[in-house]
A = this chain, B = another copy of it.
Amino acid sequence: MGKFTVTFFPDEKSVDVEEGTRIAEAAQQAEVFINNLCGGEGVCGGCKVQVTAGTAEAEEHALGLLSDDEIASGYVLACQTEIHDDLDIFIPPETRMEDAQIMTGEAAAISRSEEDKPLVRKIFLELPPPTLEDNIADIERISRELRRKLGWHSYDIHLECLKGLSEKLRDSDWKVTVTVAKDRDRYRIQRIEPLDTTTRNYGVAVDVGTTTVVIQLIDIHSKEVLGVEGSHNLQASYGEDVISRMIFACGRGGLDPLHEAIIKNINQLIEKLAEKTNVLRDDINAIVAAGNTTMSHFLLGLTPCSIRLEPYVPTADEYPQVPAKDLGIRISPNGFLETIPSVASYVGGDIVAGVMSCGIADHPEVKGLIDIGTNGEIAIGNNEWLVCCSASAGPAFEGGGTRCGMRAIKGAIEKIEIANGKVNYQTIGKAPARGICGSGLIDSIHELVRNGIIGADGKFHRTLKDDRLAVEDDIPQYTIAYGEETETGEPVVITESDIDNLMKSKGAVFAAIKSLVDYIGLSFDQIDTFYVAGGFGNFLNIPKAVSIGLLPDIPREKIQFIGNSSLTGARMSLLSEGALEKCVNISRSMTNIELSNYQPFMDEYIAALFLPHTDRKLFPSVTY
């Protein structure tokens, strides 16, 4: 197998990859980010790219997503096309992330479930009609045939499924489709339909994020992702972060508005996707949701009030499977919601789903997951043990708490390079700049230190001669984009107190990682891989994140940005009862280290408030 060089335009970024690598993976390695709406399933057509030099052939089944003109011009789907030649690839504007596509990405490499037993299965049965010699009850006739086909032994039955069953069987000449759902260690017959409807079996995976709610509509029969939609969490009007929403819910506001907001989010997104894909909501049989512990409580209508205060106790870590209609979620009347279990108040089902999706608990190698948002959650372990912790990182990486910070949406500056007093930046959607998102802030700190504009303590060298450097109200600030370049006419700047906030955030995340690695008695080089997930849109410059001291300084190939691993885990759990079982086992076996009064964490935090760190030995590869 040879190696080939792929160069992406207009960025002109090159990367060397093994033969057979897909273009999307090469782009990821080159840190060129492209749409990955369907998670690499080749169904959304969102990752169209143009091959301008070299030969690459579009997968046959992807051709339906490309016009004749596009095929003639060398367009292929990046997620489906393998590399067997040196290539030049142009990424058209529409393949870049757009506003509506926030946080929907997943790493293609881990998005496929190998299991073949979805959480809800449809089984077509042709039953032998009863005779005097064989006149067992109708439902027993169905169970008997299910046992013959599936080898299971006992089925719970919804009373609703028994109502009218007698007529249904006889009217459909004993040919029916049975929907069988898994609920922990039991199987339940949840629906019986006349004739063969096995191809109409859909499910929804939901990532209930504090900031954004993302759903995927999945054809369970074909295991294809039919579409993805995201929207801002409607709870935002009751508070920007989980803490303020908890205060609202536990004060005069009450729980209901927050519960109803998230149900509305989910209903709106399902309606939108169902319409787009011509799927009947009545054929959606299951929803699997992953979210942090507070979001899971809001989703199910459980009080989160004791989560917020020491000793941080949730109502539940494992949640019952609930009829969707009991929550007002509009899918099939017999459909249900399964919520991925949590570990503790600040380590939720999103982390559990993420750990499961990365396969951390499957192999003897020690691996870690770092999920960076308002909280930084870290999980480390292997197939024998799992530990985790959570640290409050503040909203800086999600665009809060900084002067010009914003979420990773259109117009956000996501990449910055500073050289010779000049600033090159790139915005999401190539739109006029509106602010800086998390990945842009990481870039900017790196660039400011590298160019000697700020020191290792995060303070500006006030005496420096630089047109972009100014002091306002005694706070130094640096202009990234001048007013004439921006949408509003206001300059986009980064201030010393912004940098201070960012240092606290990155310090908290790194201290949590370091404390956890120390706690288990390992060193960084004994960790096989760190998967990084979080609210950076589809993009994170890992070397720069290392160089500012956010991520540990280990070989680059040991750190993988995996996007929305919570959504991946939810989808895998929908498509595989084994995957959901793994989530339950992970949530039960993971040991949570409470950092809130853990002295080593405090010490690590103080030590990490430096760029990259007060202990330079921890960051040998960082050159400034």
Contacts and interface: CB of A to CB of B under 8 A. Distances in A.
Given A303-B164, A303-B166, A303-B167, A313 B159 contact: no
Among A300, A310, A314, A320, the most chain B Cβ lie within 10 Å of the Cβ of: A320
Interface string A288-317: 000000000000111111100011111111
A419 interface: no
A257 to B, nearest CB: 16
A147 interface: no
A140 interface: yes
A163 B313 contact: no
B158 A313 contact: no
Contacts of A315: 137-139, 162, 165-166
A157 B300 CA distance: 13
Interface stretch (A128-136, A474-482, A527-535, A573-581): A128-136
Interface string A136-174: 111110000000000000001111001111110010000
A596 interface: yes
Given A156-B320, A314-B137, A302 B131 contact: no
A236 interface: no
Contacts of A135: 311-313, 344-345, 594
Among A134, A156, A316, the most chain B Cβ lie within 10 Å of the Cβ of: A316
Contacts of A345: 135
A463 interface: no
A134 B166 CA distance: 52
A542 interface: no
A326 interface: yes
Among A136, A159, A344, the most chain B Cβ lie within 10 Å of the Cβ of: A159
A597 interface: yes
A306 B132 contact: no
Contact of A313 (B138, B300, B312): B138
A156 B319 CA distance: 10
Interface string A468-487: 00000000000000000000
Contacts of A186: 186
B596 A306 contact: no
Contact of A303 (B139, B165, B597): B165
A322 interface: yes
A270 to B, nearest CB: 20
Nearest to A343: B137
B136 A322 contact: no
A593 to B, nearest CB: 11
Helix, strand, loop or mixed for chain A's interface? loop
Contacts of A303: 163-167
Contacts of A137: 313-318, 342
Contact of A306 (B138, B305, B311): B138
Q: How many copies does the complex hold?
A: 2
A60 B163 CA distance: 52
B157 A320 contact: yes
A388 to B, nearest CB: 14
Contacts of A310: 132
A291 to B, nearest CB: 15
Given A316-B140, A317-B137, A596-B132, A305 B166 contact: yes
A301 B163 contact: yes
A594 B132 contact: yes
A387 to B, nearest CB: 16
B317 A159 contact: no
Nearest to A341: B137
Contacts of A318: 137, 140
A613 B159 CA distance: 47
Contacts of A158: 320
A595 to B, nearest CB: 11
Contacts of A304: 166
Interface string A511-553: 0000000000000000000000000000000000000000000
A320 B138 contact: no
A319 B158 CA distance: 9
A310 B135 CA distance: 9
Interface in A310-342: 310-320, 322, 326, 342
A468 to B, nearest CB: 47
B163 A305 contact: no
Contact of A162 (B164, B316, B596): B316
A313 B167 contact: no
A153 to B, nearest CB: 11
A317 B319 CA distance: 31
Contacts of A306: 138, 166, 170
A594 to B, nearest CB: 6
Among A130, A136, A162, the most chain B Cβ lie within 10 Å of the Cβ of: A162
A344 B318 CA distance: 40
A130 to B, nearest CB: 5
A475 to B, nearest CB: 38
Contact of A136 (B163, B313, B597): B313
19 contacts: A130-B311, A132-B311, A132-B312, A135-B594, A137-B313, A137-B315, A138-B313, A138-B314, A139-B316, A140-B318, A159-B300, A159-B322, A162-B302, A163-B303, A166-B302, A166-B303, A166-B305, A167-B303, A167-B305
Given A135-B594, A162-B315, A162-B320, 17 more contacts: A131-B311, A132-B310, A132-B596, A136-B313, A137-B316, A138-B306, A138-B315, A139-B315, A140-B316, A159-B300, A163-B302, A165-B302, A166-B302, A166-B313, A166-B315, A167-B303, A167-B305
